[in-house]
C-alpha cells in the first residue's frame, strides 16, 4: 500500500516547481551564450544579445569548425579522452577493490594506503613534473597526457568507499567460500553492483580529460597533436594585460565574442552526447514499495 | 575457552582481526598485490619522483641553473610569504571564502539530490539533472562577463528585480567587499552543485531497495524513509567528499576570483593564488610559488588528517 | 732642482695612477654592468660567411634552428603549418637557409613563455636564433649565458636600412645591454601604434551643434551635452559622455583615461622623464591628484559609468558600440575593430578621430608605445650567426618599404596569400583571395618581417592630407585603408609629440621584486576608491607618503641608477 498523503502531494508539487525554477536558473545563461553564438558579431560585442540571437548567422561556428585543424583536434581529443579514461578506470578500479579490504584480509593494505594518501600532502609542481616527463621521453606523445594523472587519489578513495558500502560483507565472504578468485570477484560482483559509482567516476575522469588543455600546451611540441581543448584555447584570445605589445590583429579576434561563445558549445557537445548513457546509472527511479518506477 | 579464531572447526574466515602480526602473506594475497601494483607504480613515478624538485622552495631558483646549481636560501621564501604586508589578510580571505564554499558545496548538492530523488516522472528527473549540471562546463572567463552584467547597479537584471520587490538601494555585488564574498560563494555553488550532486545521486542509487521495502511494511511514509534510510545511506559518501574537499581549503578558486575581482574588493576578495599570481608577474619567481604551494599542501593535509580522525572517532567511519 | 722636479713628477704620476685605478675599480656602479649601446655609426663590413655562399644564398643550404611562437592571428591555409609554409620555402629558395623548428607553441595563456622556461629548466638545447617579445623573459635568457653578444655583430653586418630603423630610437637597445655589450638585437616596431586619440560620435556632435574639443573644459561641456541633451533622441536619459576601462589599470590600451592625467602633465603607472632629466613615477606626480579629482567629478556628474572601475576593455567599448557613450579614447586602429560595430548597431551613427585635449595649463599628454617589440637572441653555439643578417638585411632592404623592383613591390609578402593582383592593382580583400587571406609576414622570425618605426604613421598622415602616394609603401597603405582609417591615422600622427612612452624598460629591480606588488595594490586600491568616491581626494597625499616610505624611494633610486648609466 502506498502512502501518498496530502502533505506529500503538496510537497511534490512545490518540489517540482522549485526544481523547474532551479533548472531555468541554470540554463538561462547557457541560452544567452547560445544566442550570442548564433548572433551577428557587432551586436554581440556591443552586448545587445539577450536570450535570442540578433542577426542570425552561422559564421562563428564556421570559424572554428571550418578551421583546417579542427577535425584533427577533435579526433585527438576523443582519442586522448577515451584512452585516458579507460586506462585510468581500469587500474583505479582494481586498486580500489584491493584497498577496500581490511588490513587483516590483505596484509600491507594500510601501508599501501598511506603511500597513496601521502601524495595529497605534497605536490612537486610544474617544473619538476615537466623535467620528469621530459626525461622519460614522453614529450610530444599522447602518453604525456594520459600517464601523469592516471591515478586520481580522490577518485580512487571514492571508489573504494563505494565498494565498501555497496557490497555487503556476506556477499564478499560467500564469493570467497565459493572459491572465486579476486579477479573474478571484481568483475562479476563488485563492478556490476557498483555501476553507479563506476559511472560517476568515469564521468569525472572523462570530463577532466576532455577539458584538460594546459598539459597539451606544454607537453606537445607539434601543434597538430593538440587535443580539442588545447586547440580551442589557442584560438580564443584572452585579454592579457601584461603584454606590452598588443598586436591589433590579435585584438581583432578578442572582440569576436560570438566565436568564443560557439566554442563553449563545440567543446561541450561531445560530452553532452555521451552523458545520457552514463546518467541512467545514477539517476534511478523512486523505489516505492517493491516496485521500482 | 577456545576463541573463535583458534577453533579450527570452520573454514578460515577472511576476517582474522586478532592476529597480532602484520606480515605479508604473498601466497594468499598475491592477486591483491598485483591489483595495486600498476597504480602504485604510476604514483611512485609521477607523484613521488618529482618531489626532490621541491628543493626549489628553499632556493632562489633560476631555470638555467636548475635544481643543482640555483643558490640556496633556506627559509627565505617562507619568510617572504609571511612577511609580505598583505599576507595575513590574503590568507584570511582564502580561508573564509573557501570554508563557506566547502560547507555549502556539501549541503546544497546533498539537499538537491534528496529533492530530486523524490521526483517520480523519469523524464523530468533526467532533464532537470542534465540542465543543472551544465553550468559546470562554463569557464569563468565567460561567466565573469555575464555576472558583471546581471549584477550591475545600473540596469543589471538582479538589482532590477531586487529594487522592484524591496525598498532598498541597488546592491553593489561586485564592488563591496562582503557582498563580493557572498557573490563568489553563491555563484560558485550555482555553477557546480549539479555536478557535485552526481556523487550523491550515485550514493542514493546504491542503497539497498529492500530497506525501503521493509520500511513500508513498518508503516513509514516518504519523509521518514528519507530521514531514516536515504540520508543515512548518503552520509558516508558525504563524509568522504567533505574530507577530501578539505584538501582544497586554500584553493578558493583562482579562475573565478581572477575574472570577477577588481581593486575595490582586493581587501576582502584577494586570495592566495591571485596574490601569488601578481607577484609572479613582476618577479617571475618560481621559488616563491613553490614555497606557497608547499605551505598550502601542508595545511590541507593537516586538516584532512584531523577530519579523518574526527570521522573515525564520532562516526566510526574510516575514510581511508 | 732636477731631483725635486723628478720627485714631484713621480708623485704626480702615482697620484694620477691611483686615482685612475680607483675609479676603474668601482665594481658597484652600473657603468660596469651595462656598456654603451651600439651607435650604428660604423660602416658595415662585408659579411664573413661561415659556409659556402654564392649569388646571395648558401650553397649547399644550411640549417638554422629556431622555435615557433604561434599567435591567434596567425592563420594558415593550403595545409601549411608553422614548420612548412610559403615563408620557410621562401627562406630556403632565397637564401639557402633551411629553417628548422625545434618546437612550436601557442602564445596564448603565456604558453610560449612557460614553454621556454620549462625547456631551460630541463636543460633542453636552445635554438640557433630566438625572437622573444617579452622583455623579462629575454633578460632571463640573456642571464642564462646561453646566447652570444650580438651588438658588435650588428655593427659589422647590419645593412643601412636596418641601422636606420634601429637608430630611430637607440634606447631600444637598453633592456638587452650587459657589461660587455648587447645580447639581444631589438626588433623595431611601428611607432605610435597604440597611442591614444579620441573617437567622438560625429552625429551626436552635429545634432547638438558641438565643435572639436580643444581643452578639457570644452570636453566637459561636450560630455554634459551628451549626458543631458538626449543625443540618441529616445527621450530617456540613458547616455554617457565617456567610456573608460579602469579595472586592470589606468592606462589600458582601449578605453583609456590616461590622457586625462596627461592634461596635468603626467602619465600614471609608469616612469616618465622629469624636468631635471631623472625618471619619476607618474602616479605620485601632483598631476595625478588633479586628474583623479577630475575623474571623480565626472563619475558624480554621470559622464562616466559608475562601475567603470569594474569594467575591462571589452565592457567599456561595449558602451560605445551599443550607442550609449559618445566618446572613447584609444589607438587609431580601433576605428575598424571594434568601433565600426556602432554603425551597424545604431542606424545613422558615425564617428571621427580627434586630438587629445589640453589641460588648464595648456599641457597635453598621452600614453605611448615602445618603438620595438622584443629582441632577437643568437645562440652562443650557433654555427652560422651571420645567417640572421643575410635574412633580416634583405627584409629591411626590400620588404620594409616594398622596394620597387623587388619581389615585394606589390605591397604584400606573397601573392595569393596576403594579396592578389587584379588587373595590375593590389587587392587585400579576403573575398578576392582564393582560400581567404592569411598573413605570411607573421610567420617570419621577427614577428612582422621588417618595420621601420616612423614609416607607417608618416605615410598614412601624408595620405590623409590628400597627397598622392610617393612610393610603393604609400601605395600599400592607400590600398589598405579607407577614408576613416586615414583620418584617424592622421590625427594620431599629429599628436605624436605629446606621446609619453614608458621610460624604464630594464628588468625589475631588487626593490621592485620585493615591494612592487604591495605598492601596486596600494596604488590601485587608493586610486579606484578615490575615483569612485569612497575616499576623499586628500588621501592621495597620504598615499604618496606611504608609497615613498614603503619602498618607492628605493625603487626610484634603483631606476635612476640604471637610467644614468645608459644615458651617457
CA distance C484 to C336: 9
pLDDT at A16: 93
Domain carrying residue C285: 197-367+501-567
* Of B234 and B311, the one with more pLDDT: B234
Q: For residues C100 and C177, state if they share a domain.
A: yes
3-state secondary structure of C420: strand
Domain carrying residue A263: 64-292
Q: How do residues A154-172 score in pLDDT, each as one tens digit?
A: 999 999 988 888 888 888 8
How large is the C-alpha radius of gyration of chain B?
26
Mean pLDDT of B105-116: 94
Strand partners, C215: C358
Q: For residues C248 and C336, state if they share a domain.
A: yes
Sign, CA dihedral C166-C170-C175-C178, equals positive
Q: How confident is the model at residue B157 (pLDDT cuts 50, 70, 90)?
A: confident
CA distance C233 to C239: 10
Q: How confident is the model at residue C24 (pLDDT cuts 50, 70, 90)?
A: very low
Q: For residues A46 and A191, state if they share a domain.
A: no
A-C contacts at Cβ under 8 angstroms: 132
What total of structural domains would you count in chain C? Answer: 2
Q: What is the dihedral of CA C132, C137, C143, C149, to 10 degrees?
A: 20
Q: Give the gap in angstroms from C-alpha A50 to the nearest C-alpha of chain B.
A: 11
Final residue of a structural domain among C397, C415, C445: C397
3-state secondary structure of A10: helix
Q: Which of A221, A254, A256, A258 to mutate to test the interface with C (most CBs of C within 10 A)?
A: A221
Q: Which residue of A46, A235, A250 is in closest CB contact with C345?
A: A46
- On average, the pLDDT of chain C sits at 88
Q: For residues A138 and A223, state if they share a domain.
A: yes
Q: Is residue C134 part of a domain?
A: yes
Q: Is residue C37 part of a domain?
A: no
Q: For residues C92 and C134, state if they share a domain.
A: yes
Q: For residues A209 and A178, state if they share a domain.
A: yes
Q: Is residue C166 part of a domain?
A: yes
Q: How do residues A10-52 score in pLDDT, each as one tens digit?
A: 888 999 999 999 999 999 888 888 998 898 888 887 888 888 8
Q: For residues A31 and A168, state if they share a domain.
A: no
* Of B76 and A81, the one with more pLDDT: A81
Q: How do residues C141-151 score in pLDDT, each as one tens digit?
A: 998 999 999 99
Q: How confident is the model at residue C70 (pLDDT cuts 50, 70, 90)?
A: confident
Strands (E), C423-491: 425-427
Q: Which of B53, B62, B63, B273 to mutate to test the interface with C (most CBs of C within 10 A)?
A: B63
Residue A59: burial class (beta carbons within 10 Å; 0-12, 13-18, 19+): middle
Mean pLDDT of C397-410: 91
Q: For residues A129 and A41, state if they share a domain.
A: no
Q: Lowest-pLDDT range, A11-25, B126-140, B298-312?
A: B298-312
Using the beta-carbon criterion (under 8 Å), do B42 and A106 form an inter-chain contact?
no
Q: For residues C231 and C216, state if they share a domain.
A: yes
pLDDT at C8: 46
What total of structural domains would you count in chain A? Answer: 2
DSSP 8-state secondary structure symbol assigned to residue A151: S
Q: How confident is the model at residue A248 (pLDDT cuts 50, 70, 90)?
A: low
pLDDT at C553: 94
Q: For residues A51 and A79, state if they share a domain.
A: no
Mean pLDDT of C184-210: 94
Q: For residues A97 and A37, state if they share a domain.
A: no
pLDDT at B44: 94
What chain B residue is nearest to A204 in terms of C-alpha separation? B195
pLDDT at A166: 81
Q: For residues C559 and C531, state if they share a domain.
A: yes
Q: Is the pLDDT of residue C14 over 50?
A: no
Q: Which domains does chain B have, with CATH numbers?
A: 84-284 (1.10.3720.10)
Q: Is the pLDDT of residue C359 over 60?
A: yes
Helix (H) and strand (E) counts for chain C? 20, 19
Chains that touch B (3 or more CB pairs under 8 A): A, C
What is the CATH classification number for the domain harbouring C550? 3.40.190.10
Q: Is residue C517 part of a domain?
A: yes
Q: How do residues C447-462 score in pLDDT, each as one tens digit?
A: 998 999 999 999 999 9
Terminal CA-CA length for chain A: 15
Q: For residues C69 and C106, state if they share a domain.
A: yes
pLDDT at C431: 86
DSSP 8-state secondary structure symbol assigned to residue C419: B
Contact B14, A85 (CB under 8 A): no
Mean pLDDT of C544-563: 94
Q: How do residues C456-511 score in pLDDT, each as one tens digit?
A: 999 999 999 999 999 999 999 998 888 999 999 999 999 999 999 999 988 888 88
- On average, the pLDDT of chain A sits at 83
Q: For residues A42 and A125, state if they share a domain.
A: no
Q: How do residues B193-230 score in pLDDT, each as one tens digit?
A: 998 999 999 888 888 888 888 888 888 888 888 888 89
Q: For residues C315 and C336, state if they share a domain.
A: yes
ipTM value: 0.84
Q: For residues C381 and C321, state if they share a domain.
A: no
Final residue of a structural domain among C382, C397, C412: C397
Q: For residues A134 and A39, state if they share a domain.
A: no
What chain C residue is nearest to B80 in terms of C-alpha separation? C514
Mean pLDDT of B224-248: 87
Q: Is residue C18 part of a domain?
A: no
What is the CATH classification number for the domain harbouring A254? 1.10.3720.10
Q: For residues C201 and C305, state if they share a domain.
A: yes
What phi-psi label fits residue A255: left (phi over 0), alpha (psi between -120 and 50 degrees) or beta?
A: alpha
pLDDT at A288: 45
pLDDT at A107: 83
Q: For residues A37 and A103, state if they share a domain.
A: no
* Of A274 and A252, the one with more pLDDT: A274
Q: For residues A12 and A74, state if they share a domain.
A: no
Q: For residues C227 and C127, state if they share a domain.
A: no
Q: Is the pLDDT of residue B4 over 70?
A: no
Which residue is it, cell 576463541?
A: B3
CB of B312 less than 8 A from some CB of A: no
Write phi, then psi, for A80 (nearest 5 degrees): -60, -45
Q: For residues C298 and C388, state if they share a domain.
A: no
Q: For residues A154 and A192, state if they share a domain.
A: yes
Q: Is residue C158 part of a domain?
A: yes
Q: Is the pLDDT of residue B191 over 90?
A: yes
Q: Which residue of B25, B142, B221 is in closest CB contact with A33?
A: B142
3-state secondary structure of C65: strand
Q: How confident is the model at residue C3 (pLDDT cuts 50, 70, 90)?
A: low
Q: How confident is the model at residue C165 (pLDDT cuts 50, 70, 90)?
A: very high
What chain A residue is nearest to C320 in terms of C-alpha separation? A46
What chain B residue is nearest to C533 in terms of C-alpha separation? B264
Q: For residues C341 and C215, state if they share a domain.
A: yes
* Of C18 and A196, the one with more pLDDT: A196
Q: Is the pLDDT of residue B7 over 80?
A: no
Q: Is residue C515 part of a domain?
A: yes
Amino acid at each position: 500500500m502506498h502512502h501518498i498523503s496530502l502533505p506529500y502531494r503538496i510537497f511534490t508539487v512545490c518540489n517540482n516547481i522549485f526544481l523547474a525554477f532551479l533548472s531555468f536558473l541554470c540554463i538561462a545563461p547557457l541560452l544567452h551564450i547560445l544566442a550570442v553564438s548564433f548572433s551577428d558579431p557587432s551586436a554581440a560585442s556591443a552586448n545587445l544579445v539577450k536570450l535570442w540571437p540578433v542577426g542570425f548567422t552561422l559564421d562563428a561556428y564556421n570559424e572554428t569548425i571550418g578551421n583546417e585543424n579542427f577535425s584533427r583536434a577533435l579526433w585527438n581529443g576523443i582519442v586522448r579522452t577515451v584512452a585516458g579514461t579507460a586506462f585510468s578506470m581500469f587500474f583505479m578500479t582494481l586498486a580500489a577493490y584491493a584497498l577496500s579490504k581490511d588490513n587483516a584480509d590483505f596484509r600491507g593494505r594500510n601501508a599501501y594506503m598511506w603511500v597513496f594518501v601521502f601524495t595529497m600532502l605534497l605536490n612537486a609542481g610544474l617544473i619538476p613534473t615537466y623535467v620528469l616527463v621530459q626525461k622519460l621521453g614522453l614529450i610530444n606523445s599522447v602518453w604525456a597526457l594520459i600517464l601523469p594523472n592516471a591515478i586520481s587519489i580522490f577518485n580512487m578513495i571514492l571508489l573504494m568507499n563505494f565498494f565498501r558500502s555497496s557490497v555487503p560483507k556476506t556477499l564478499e565472504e560467500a564469493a570467497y567460500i565459493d572459491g572465486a578468485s579476486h579477479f573474478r570477484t571484481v568483475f562479476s560482483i563488485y563492478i556490476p553492483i557498483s555501476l553507479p559509482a563506476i559511472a560517476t567516476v568515469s564521468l569525472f575522469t572523462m570530463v577532466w580529460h576532455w577539458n584538460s588543455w594546459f598539459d597539451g600546451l606544454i607537453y606537445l611540441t607539434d601543434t597538430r597533436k593538440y587535443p580539442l581543448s588545447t586547440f580551442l584555447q589557442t584560438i580564443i584570445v584572452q585579454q592579457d594585460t601584461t603584454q606590452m605589445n598588443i598586436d591589433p590583429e590579435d585584438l581583432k579576434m578578442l572582440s569576436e565574442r560570438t566565436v568564443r561563445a560557439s566554442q563553449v558549445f563545440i567543446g561541450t557537445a561531445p560530452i553532452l552526447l555521451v552523458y545520457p548513457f552514463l546518467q541512467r546509472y545514477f539517476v534511478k527511479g523512486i523505489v516505492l514499495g517493491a516496485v521500482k518506477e | 575457552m577456545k576463541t573463535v579464531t583458534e577453533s579450527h572447526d570452520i573454514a578460515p574466515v577472511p576476517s582474522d582481526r586478532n592476529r597480532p602480526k602484520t606480515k605479508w602473506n604473498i601466497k594468499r594475497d598475491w592477486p591483491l598485490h598485483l591489483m595495486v601494483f600498476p597504480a602504485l607504480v604510476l604514483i611512485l613515478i609521477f607523484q613521488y619522483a618529482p618531489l626532490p624538485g621541491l628543493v626549489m622552495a628553499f632556493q632562489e631558483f633560476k631555470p638555467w641553473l636548475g635544481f643543482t646549481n640555483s643558490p640556496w636560501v633556506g627559509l627565505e621564501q617562507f619568510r617572504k610569504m609571511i612577511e609580505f604586508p598583505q599576507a595575513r589578510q590574503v590568507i584570511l580571505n582564502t580561508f573564509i571564502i573557501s570554508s563557506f564554499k566547502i560547507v555549502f558545496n556539501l549541503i546544497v548538492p546533498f539537499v538537491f539530490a534528496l529533492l530530486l530523488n523524490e521526483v517520480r516522472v523519469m523524464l523530468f528527473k533526467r532533464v532537470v539533472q542534465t540542465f543543472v549540471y551544465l553550468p559546470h562546463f562554463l569557464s569563468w572567463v565567460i561567466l565573469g562577463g555575464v555576472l558583471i552584467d546581471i549584477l550591475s547597479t545600473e540596469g543589471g537584471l538582479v538589482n532590477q528585480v531586487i529594487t522592484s520587490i524591496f525598498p532598498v538601494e541597488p546592491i553593489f555585488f561586485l564592488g563591496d567587499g562582503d557582498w563580493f564574498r557572498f557573490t563568489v560563494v553563491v555563484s560558485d555553488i550555482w555553477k557546480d552543485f549539479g555536478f557535485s550532486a552526481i556523487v550523491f545521486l550515485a550514493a542514493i542509487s546504491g542503497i539497498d531497495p529492500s530497506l525501503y521495502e521493509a520500511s513500508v511494511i513498518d508503516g513509514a511514509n516518504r519523509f521518514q524513509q528519507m530521514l531514516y534510510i536515504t540520508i543515512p545511506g548518503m552520509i558516508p559518501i558525504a563524509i568522504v567528499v567533505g574530507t577530501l574537499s578539505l584538501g582544497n581549503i586554500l584553493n578558493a578558486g583562482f579562475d573565478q576570483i581572477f575574472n570577477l575581482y577588481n581593486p575595490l574588493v582586493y581587501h576582502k576578495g584577494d586570495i592566495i593564488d591571485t596574490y601569488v599570481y601578481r607577484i609572479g608577474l613582476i618577479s617571475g619567481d618560481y621559488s616563491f610559488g613553490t614555497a606557497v604551494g608547499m605551505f598550502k599542501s601542508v595545511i590541507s593535509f593537516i586538516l584532512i588528517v584531523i577530519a579523518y580522525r574526527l570521522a573515525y572517532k564520532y562516526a566510526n567511519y574510516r575514510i581511508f | 732642482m732636477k731631483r725635486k722636479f723628478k720627485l714631484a713628477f713621480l708623485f704626480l704620476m702615482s697620484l694620477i695612477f691611483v686615482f685612475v685605478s680607483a675609479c676603474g675599480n668601482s665594481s658597484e656602479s652600473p657603468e660596469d654592468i651595462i656598456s654603451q649601446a651600439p651607435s650604428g655609426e660604423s660602416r658595415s663590413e662585408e659579411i664573413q660567411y661561415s659556409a659556402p655562399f654564392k649569388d646571395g644564398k648558401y650553397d649547399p643550404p644550411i640549417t638554422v634552428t629556431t622555435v615557433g611562437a604561434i599567435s591567434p592571428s596567425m592563420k594558415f591555409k593550403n595545409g601549411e603549418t608553422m614548420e612548412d609554409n610559403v615563408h620557410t620555402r621562401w627562406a630556403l629558395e632565397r637564401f639557402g637557409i633551411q629553417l628548422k623548428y625545434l618546437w612550436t607553441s601557442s602564445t596564448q595563456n603565456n604558453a610560449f613563455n612557460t614553454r621556454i622556461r620549462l625547456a631551460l629548466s630541463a636543460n633542453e638545447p636552445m635554438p640557433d636564433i630566438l625572437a622573444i617579445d617579452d622583455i623579462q623573459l629575454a633578460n632571463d635568457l640573456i642571464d642564462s649565458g646561453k646566447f652570444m653578444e650580438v651588438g658588435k655583430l650588428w655593427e659589422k653586418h647590419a645593412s643601412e636600412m636596418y641601422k636606420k630603423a634601429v637608430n630611430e630610437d637607440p634606447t631600444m637597445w637598453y633592456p638587452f645591454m650587459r657589461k660587455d655589450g648587447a645580447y639581444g638585437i631589438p626588433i623595431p616596431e611601428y611607432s605610435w601604434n597604440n597611442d591614444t586619440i579620441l573617437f567622438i560620435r560625429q552625429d551626436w556632435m552635429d545634432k547638438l551643434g558641438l565643435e572639436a574639443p580643444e581643452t578639457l573644459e570644452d570636453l566637459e561641456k561636450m560630455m554634459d551635452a551628451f549626458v543631458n541633451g538626449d543625443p540618441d533622441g529616445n527621450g530617456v536619459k540613458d547616455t554617457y559622455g565617456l567610456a573608460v576601462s579602469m579595472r586592470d589599470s589606468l592606462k589600458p590600451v582601449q578605453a583609456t583615461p590616461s590622457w586625462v592625467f596627461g592634461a596635468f602633465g603626467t602619465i600614471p603607472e609608469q616612469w616618465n622623464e622629469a624636468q631635471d632629466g631623472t625618471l619619476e613615477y607618474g602616479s605620485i606626480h601632483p598631476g595625478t591628484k588633479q586628474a583623479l579629482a577630475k575623474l571623480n567629478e565626472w563619475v558624480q556628474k554621470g559622464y562616466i559609468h559608475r562601475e567603470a572601475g569594474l569594467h575591462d576593455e571589452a565592457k567599456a567599448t561595449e558602451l560605445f558600440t551599443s550607442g550609449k557613450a559618445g566618446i572613447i579614447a584609444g589607438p587609431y586602429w580601433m576605428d575598424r575593430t571594434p568601433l565600426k560595430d556602432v554603425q551597424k548597431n545604431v542606424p545613422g551613427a558615425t564617428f571621427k578621430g580627434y586630438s587629445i585635449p589640453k589641460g588648464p595649463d595648456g599641457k597635453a599628454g598621452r600614453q605611448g608605445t615602445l618603438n620595438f617589440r622584443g629582441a632577437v637572441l643568437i645562440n652562443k653555439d650557433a654555427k652560422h650567426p651571420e645567417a640572421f643578417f643575410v635574412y633580416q638585411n634583405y627584409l629591411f632592404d626590400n620588404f620594409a618599404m616594398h622596394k620597387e623592383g623587388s619581389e615585394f613591390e606589390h605591397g604584400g609578402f606573397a601573392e595569393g596569400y596576403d594579396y592578389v593582383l587584379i588587373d595590375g592593382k593590389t587587392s587585400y580583400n579576403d573575398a578576392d583571395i582564393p582560400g581567404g587571406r592569411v598573413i605570411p609576414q607573421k610567420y617570419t622570425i621577427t614577428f612582422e618581417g621588417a618595420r621601420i618605426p616612423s614609416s607607417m604613421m608618416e605615410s598614412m598622415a601624408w595620405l590623409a592630407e590628400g597627397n598622392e602616394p610617393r612610393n610603393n609603401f604609400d601605395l600599400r597603405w592607400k590600398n589598405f585603408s579607407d577614408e576613416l582609417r586615414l583620418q584617424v591615422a592622421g590625427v594620431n600622427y599629429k599628436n605624436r609629440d605629446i606621446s609619453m612612452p614608458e621610460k624604464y624598460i630594464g628588468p625589475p629591480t631588487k626593490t621592485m621584486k620585493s615591494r612592487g606588488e604591495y605598492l601596486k595594490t596600494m596604488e590601485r586600491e587608493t586610486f579606484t576608491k578615490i575615483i569612485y568616491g569612497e575616499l576623499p581626494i586628500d588621501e592621495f597625499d597620504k598615499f604618496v607618503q606611504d608609497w615613498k616610505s614603503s619602498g618607492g624611494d628605493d625603487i626610484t633610486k634603483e631606476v635612476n641608477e640604471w637610467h644614468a648609466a645608459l644615458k651617457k
